[in-house]
Structure 1
Amino acid sequence: MRVAYISARLAKKIGFSESSLFDLISYSLLHDNGVMASLRKMKDKGVTISTDSGAVEAMPLHCIEGEKNLANFPFLMKRENVILYHHENYDGSGFFGIAGNKIPIFSRIIHLADLMAIWYSSGMGTDQVMDSIVQNVHMFDPDLCEAALELSANVEFWLDLNDMFVQRALVAMQPKVSREFDFRKLREISQIFSRIIDAKSPFTGSHSRGISEKTGFICQYYEFDEQTYWQMRVAADLHDLGKLIVPSSILDKPGKLSRDEFRMIQAHPYYTRKILERIDGFEEITEWASNHHEKLNGSGYPYGRDSSNLDFNSRILACVDIYQALTEDRPYRKAMEHRKAINIMKDMAAQGQIEASVTEDMDSIFSGVMN
């Protein structure tokens, strides 16, 4: 949010239009969306990189992954290579050697805003941040440096960066843009976040994607209407959104979780709900996505809901989530084959935890595919 706020202030200072400002804020909020995917790819290669900001910012791979992730994001106007080049220095000394005005203006703004936000977050005082801009002037667009120094002279600019105020300040600046999408189009956006979620851990590398695909098969089997079909796909993509708050050290832990660690895991559907319920038109999606760890007998989490307030679509996602988890590798065990996973689920259904009819139908649908 700090990067987006600083970017927006710089853009207004140099005369951006409302539509360009709206897109810049979106790009700024998503500028590091490729970090987790790049960390995971490096880890897969046996390279462990610290997650502190300095180490992450030094990886060009996160720029490449981030640019790919946003290929289908519905900006008001798509601009090429904004994320790819958001670490390029004005003198050409960045990752890809692009210099001057050949660097997209959005990238130049985000680059300066990013470093200002990092310096501020590291504990630098306002004068130190301003000095750092001057000392590193070769890295930045001269017009943006001038705008940044003018903004920095105002106390309110720095006060708005405080944790207490930055979100409110950003929202107040964001142009009021209203757009309508059908759920099929919205799924292009939810897939972006699905990839970010799945990149959180090597053991969940295709978890959300797998659940979304299997949910699609089941919706077709039940002959759901087109709108419900796409709503369910979106809910499946976003069901683990709250896991972005869970530390990777817990998600990847090979041994038994402590009580506090398990409580943190149990909190993730709660955070999923709190994020999604803020979106108008997502009422049903929020319910289905957030209920995926609830049980029909009330033994689930985080709310302990039971059959009286778990609709059929919530029961479908709960079953698919269990099946997907059982049939993929986890840090504490190998993936199970179809028959063993279904037998476990049938036992759960017999105990009144999950929907028996969905379990039986999943057995029929996936028996040939998963063996």
Structure 2
Amino acid sequence: MNAFLPHDFKVYMDVRHALLAVATALDFVGVDDLHHGHRVAYMAYECASVLGWPDEKKQFAYFAGLIHDCGVSSSEEHLRLLKLMQPEDAHCHSKRGYEALLECPILDVFAPIVLYHHTPWLELQSHDLSVFERDIAALIFLADRTDFLRARYTHGCHEELITLHESMVAENLLAHCGTLFEPEMVNAMCQLVKKDGFWYNMDATHIELLGLEFKANHFYDKELDIGGVKQLARFLARIVDAKSPFTFHHSEKVALLAKLVAKDCGISDTDAELLYVAGLLHDVGKLKTPDLLLHKEGKLTKEEYSIVKRHTVDTEHTLHRFFPKSVIGEWASNHHERLDGSGYPFSKRQEQLDLPSRILAVVDVFQALTQKRPYRGSLSLSEIYDIMQPMVDKGQLDAGVYSILLADIDNFYHLSTQEFQT
């Protein structure tokens, strides 16, 4: 079943672009409050500049700000963080983000910052952190809560009207000077928030250009090899899978199954690894899907289904930012397409769907059927066969790929249903 794959499969990505792309994916979680990570990055960088920090420390503050909320995967949790200056359960997402970063060695330097980015200044000083880490964590907390105040004062009105509330923002920050926030940082931030231009510059495109125009830095500009790309993909996959308790580890299992089936289909090891990455990230667009729809136990209405289907296009757009010269995004976004044109989002037909896309479609259906749900356990192999075989017979799923799956079905079923080991 080896097939000619007429694409450039090389992956070009450095840490700088990876962090910017992660921030964009995390923005999906905000739904009603987009670009929070971008704004925190911008505010932290500008405040660090007023404080006279060296370039390397300012850059670190910027990139830490971009991904500081990597432990937030639900829109509901994001909204809770906008209700109080000191949210009661902020430590939960801080710890999740910390643990996710520790599993990603190319980004684990940000883990302590994420863990402590909601820790009050009085408490922060007692933790075992370097001066560098303590300063960054304190600044991210201050920038995060400054954006909280921006959201509070612009709720229900045009965002530029924050300039009418600059004094109120400053007063709120000063009220917590020395307790929640480090005093020198508060004074520096208050200088900034009283300037209209500070707020007007909070455009996501401008903020990204700021990060792209920083002085060259070996850490941020180093190109990732396939191992680094897989680390990054697993990091994002865990954020996606954490969004819904119904589908926990779905992305990681789809990736593993796709890679194994691809090898059995005769696809090269290199391309099988890239398909593994596509499998990890095939549902990244679901970060934008409303939580209630992903958590719904019963059948979706026509209107709800229409909203859910969009995740495929959001996946492709996101992955194009990660891998602009690769077909990984196309493979990932094709996982709901069907060979007879009955799939979505573009109703592609068999001549438009290459072998990796067909493999991903088959294993996505298979893995979803093996997953436990609150209203049912894993389906048995006979039940799965009764669902998938008609899809093959109708020409929706690739018969050759399905036969490869059936040839080692007991092993694939075991891998798909076993408790996942991290």
* Inter-CA distance 20–305: structure 2 relative to 1 (3 Å threshold): farther
Instruction: Please state if 1:318 is matched with 2:346.
Output: no
Give the corresponding residue for 1:83: 114
Contact 1:126-1:158 within 8 A present in 2 as well:
no
RMSD: 2.6
Instruction: Please state if 1:241 is matched with 2:284.
Output: yes
**Alignment deviations for residues 175-213 of structure 1 (CA, whole Å, 9 cap, x no partner):** 265331122220100101100000111101111011112
* Superposition pairs of residues 134-173 of structure 1, within 5 angstroms: 134-138=174-178, 139-161=180-202, 166-173=203-210
Instruction: Please state if 1:181 is matched with 2:211.
Output: no
* Inter-CA distance 224–145: structure 2 relative to 1 (3 Å threshold): same
Contact 1:272-1:290 within 8 A present in 2 as well:
yes
How far apart are 1:308 and its partner, in Å?
A: 1.3
* Inter-CA distance 50–64: structure 2 relative to 1 (3 Å threshold): closer
Instruction: Give the TM-score normalised by the residue count of structure 1.
Output: 0.88
Contact 1:211-1:236 within 8 A present in 2 as well:
yes
Contact 1:270-1:302 within 8 A present in 2 as well:
yes
Contact 1:34-1:66 within 8 A present in 2 as well:
yes
**Alignment deviations for residues 229-277 of structure 1 (CA, whole Å, 9 cap, x no partner):** 2211110111001100111101111223222111011110011011111
Letter in 2 for 1:242: G
**Alignment deviations for residues 102-132 of structure 1 (CA, whole Å, 9 cap, x no partner):** 6621101100000000110112622211110
Q: Which of 334, 357, 371 is equivalent to 2:400?
A: 357
* Inter-CA distance 21–233: structure 2 relative to 1 (3 Å threshold): farther
* Inter-CA distance 184–279: structure 2 relative to 1 (3 Å threshold): same
Q: Which of 283, 295, 301 is equivalent to 2:344?
A: 301
Give the corresponding residue for 1:74: 106
Give the corresponding residue for 2:173: 133
Distance (Å, rounded) in 1 between the aligned partners of 2:266 and 2:59: 39
Give the corresponding residue for 1:4: 41
* Larger relative contact order, structure 1 or 2 (CA cutoff 8 Å, min sep 6): 2
Distance (Å, rounded) in 2 between the aligned partners of 1:27 and 1:21: 10
Give the corresponding residue for 2:252: 209
Contact 1:293-1:302 within 8 A present in 2 as well:
yes
Contact 2:146-2:169 within 8 A present in 1 as well:
yes
Q: Which of 141, 153, 174 is equivalent to 1:123?
A: 153
Distance (Å, rounded) in 1 between the aligned partners of 2:345 and 2:110: 41
Letter in 2 for 1:132: N
How far apart are 1:342 and its partner, in Å?
A: 3.0
Letter in 1 for 2:121: Y
Distance (Å, rounded) in 2 between the aligned partners of 1:291 and 1:271: 12
Give the corresponding residue for 1:104: 134
Contact 1:109-1:144 within 8 A present in 2 as well:
yes
Aligned residues: 355
Distance (Å, rounded) in 1 between the aligned partners of 2:128 and 2:147: 22
Between 1:251-260 and 1:302-311, the stretch displaced more is 251-260
Give the corresponding residue for 2:64: 27
Contact 2:72-2:78 within 8 A present in 1 as well:
no
How far apart are 1:227 and its partner, in Å?
A: 2.3
Distance (Å, rounded) in 2 between the aligned partners of 1:331 and 1:300: 27
Contact 2:258-2:275 within 8 A present in 1 as well:
yes
Letter in 1 for 2:63: S
Distance (Å, rounded) in 1 between the aligned partners of 2:401 and 2:223: 33
* Inter-CA distance 337–100: structure 2 relative to 1 (3 Å threshold): closer
Between 1:359-368 and 1:129-138, the stretch displaced more is 359-368
Distance (Å, rounded) in 2 between the aligned partners of 1:263 and 1:248: 15
Q: Which runs of 5+ in 1 are unaligned?
A: 40-47
* Inter-CA distance 264–49: structure 2 relative to 1 (3 Å threshold): closer
Identity %: 28
* Inter-CA distance 211–57: structure 2 relative to 1 (3 Å threshold): farther
Q: Which of 363, 368, 381 is equivalent to 1:338?
A: 381
Distance (Å, rounded) in 1 between the aligned partners of 2:366 and 2:348: 20
**Alignment deviations for residues 265-315 of structure 1 (CA, whole Å, 9 cap, x no partner):** 111001101111123455210111010000001110111111111110000
